[in-house]
Amino acid sequence: MTQAPDRAPTSRIPGMRELSPDDRRSAIAAQAALSNADSLALAGRDLLPMTVADGMIENVIGKFELPLGVATNFVVNGKDYLVPMAVEEPSVVAAASYMTRIARDNGGFHASADRPLMRAQIQVLGVKDVHGARHRILEQAPQLIAKANSRDKVLIDLGGGCQRIEVQVFPDTPAGPMVVAHLVVDVRDAMGANTVNTMAEMLAPDIERLTGGKVRLRILSNLADLRLARARVELHPDSLSTDTLNGADVASGVVEACALAIVDPYRAATHNKGIMNGIDPVVIATGNDWRAIEAGAHAYAARDGRYTALTRWELSGTGTLVGTIELPMALGLVGGATKTHPAAQAALKLMQVDSAAELAQVTAAVGLAQNMAALRALATEGIQRGHMALHARNIAIMAGASGAEIDRVAKAIVAAGDISVDRARAEMTQDGG
């Protein structure tokens, strides 16, 4: 069993890159006071029994792995976090860790999150008086809410449950007039899909009786616009300076780069993809539904009828660079793979989050950090220089390098400014000769 640290855990681990994978894992396990079992789970050494995998999804034939890294230096609301990230793309973990080192020196990230409210939709067709039907549903809302809450005493005791009912009317659709009832449910520390879907199924007969129509869909919405997470960072220009640019110019470049994403959906798509480069790996590592998070984020980005950036970067009156992000973040600590997959459980222990809302805040901060890294690179040397340097290890592996040879070849092709498989093979041949 790993012993608890004799001081407050920190996400600042100098020299992390120079350590071996085992030594990195030992370092983060010591900081987070993880057990040996949790440490081994993060190592991914055949930790998921085939019997468990076979019960998680259908037609199982094996298991598929992604590299699991840890982003360091995160401080959110004054608390240090080590952030697990499961991702195959080079530069993601490095960029997040580097940007959070800058943010750390500027007070870290500040974040907040809404209550964990999710929506279930009940679609009704064949209604003659759609507006009258809406009123009849709302008149019976207290009784419907009580029925929805009648079968989940645990959720109610935790302070959750169905909070209210909303009704939308669509007089003219391709399927005819339509009434859609929304159940707004506080799902506490769950993602909430199973809870809200069960409530929708339960109330469907009552909704049919009240409307005189036929219920079709009964399912949650992944546009969790009542469950938003926000993060903010404020950076002094001096902390953004490079060897060739002063910080004020870099800050202005970040604002200008963001401006294009705000007005142009072609840039916004790439801008937001970069944000999700940070968010998705955390969601995957913690066993949450990254597809739901992606769907909610992009739908929210188009909520005003035009697809736009999920972040905003501005210069304050004192010249500091202020970055903000707001997006739906329906994450859970209970249910699904978060309680089934050993690595997901260990990842949550590593993060030391106490609630789904806290996990959402940290994940939003990761997205903001990733966006900051991309915009800073675009405003300085360009995105490819740093990315390709980190990609050099992959190129070396593709060329056939192994073991210690990977780093040697990667450094050689970076120094030569030719990060290609042909150059990597040439380096290997030269060494062999």
- Could you say which of 152, 326, 387, 405 is catalytic? 387
- Could you say which of 79, 89, 147, 236 is catalytic? 89
Up-side HSE of residue 428: CA atoms within 13 Å toward CB? 20
Residue 358: active-site member: no
- Could you say which of 273, 339, 354, 431 is catalytic? 273
248/240 Cα distance (integer angstroms)? 8
Residue 289: active-site member: yes
- Report helix, strand or coil for 58: coil
Name the one residue in this structure whose structure tokens are 């736009």. 308
Tell me if 367 sits within 8 A of 283, measured CB to CB.
Answer: no
CA dihedral 92, 95, 97, 102 (to 10 degrees): -160
112: nearest Cα among 324, 353, 297, 358: 358
Rounded to the nearest 5°, which phi and psi values hold at 51?
A: -65, -35
Q: E strands within 269-332?
A: 311-315, 321-328
The tokens of 253 are what? 């470049």
Residue 89: active-site member: yes
Neighbours of 330 (CB within 10 A): 30
- Could you say which of 186, 206, 280, 289 is catalytic? 289
Query: 3-state DSSP: the chain helix, strand, coil percent, rounded to 5?
Result: 50, 20, 30
Residue 407: active-site member: no
Q: Return the active site residues.
A: 89, 273, 289, 387
